[in-house]
């Protein structure tokens, strides 16, 4: 009901629905006040073990069974961003469910997912140190750049400097993709 009453992007809506489905598979379909911190930790730990793009016969299994299968096989696990989106979906759904029922039952409640949902990638991004003007001048004054004998050796460093993009992103860019 939360997803239907919100204006989420389709990808977020799908991730939230899948997160709620996985949560119910792992912890059961409980009343919101009976969901506790242990459930949140258990759910997070299972999500971290679930495989990325498992075979169809594994995908149809419950989340816990997928995690157990992945433990036996050497497969890639869900990315932290996917784990976070699934947990956020459950957290927001729990908040919504409590708001819908608390008015009638006059209960106090704290979301057990509080504190789990941090944005690690943004924190890393903030820790990056920018190049000083001296460092940039040093890079662009080197013979490798000043005597660049290919367009790539000349343009890629400039594109990296002005866009802040990663090397692999810029190096794969085709001429017809640049406007």
Which band of pLDDT confidence, cut at 50, 70 and 90, is reported for residue 105?
Answer: low
Sequence-separated (6 or more) residues with CB below 8 Å from residue 78: 47, 48, 50, 51, 52, 86
pLDDT digit string, tens, across residues 74-86: 899 988 888 888 8
Sequence-separated (6 or more) residues with CB below 8 Å from residue 103: none
pLDDT for 112 beyond 80:
yes
- Round to whole Å and give the CA distance between 8 and 31: 24
**Which of 5-9, 68-72, 114-118, 155-159 shows the lowest per-residue confidence on average (mean pLDDT)?**
5-9
Contact 102, 109 (CB under 8 A): yes
- Round to whole Å and give the CA distance between 45 and 22: 12
What is the token pair recorded at 79?
A: 């990315």
**What is the predicted pLDDT for the residue at 163?**
80
**What is the predicted pLDDT for the residue at 60?**
86
Single pTM value for the model: 0.58
What is the rounded average pLDDT for all residues in the chain? 79
**What is the predicted pLDDT for the residue at 118?**
57
Q: How does DSSP classify residue 60?
A: T
Percent of the chain with pLDDT strictly greater than 70: 82
pLDDT for 139 beyond 60:
yes
């Amino acid at each position: 009901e939360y997803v239907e009453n919100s204006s989420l992007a389709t990808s977020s809506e799908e991730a939230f629905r899948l997160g709620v489905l996985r949560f119910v598979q792992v912890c059961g379909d409980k009343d919101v006040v009976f969901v506790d911190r242990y459930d949140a930790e258990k759910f997070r730990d299972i999500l971290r073990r679930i495989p990325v793009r498992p075979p169809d016969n594994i995908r149809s299994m419950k989340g816990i069974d997928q995690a157990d299968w992945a433990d036996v096989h050497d497969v890639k696990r869900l990315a932290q961003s996917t784990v976070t989106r699934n947990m956020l979906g459950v957290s927001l759904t729990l908040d919504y469910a409590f708001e819908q029922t608390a008015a009638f039952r006059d209960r106090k409640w704290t979301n057990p997912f509080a504190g789990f949902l941090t944005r690690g990638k943004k924190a890393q991004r903030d820790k990056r140190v920018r190049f000083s003007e001296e460092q940039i001048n040093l890079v662009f004054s080197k013979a490798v750049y000043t005597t660049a004998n290919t367009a790539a050796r000349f343009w890629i460093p400039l594109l990296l400097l002005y866009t802040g993009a990663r090397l692999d992103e810029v190096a794969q860019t085709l001429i017809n993709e640049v406007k």
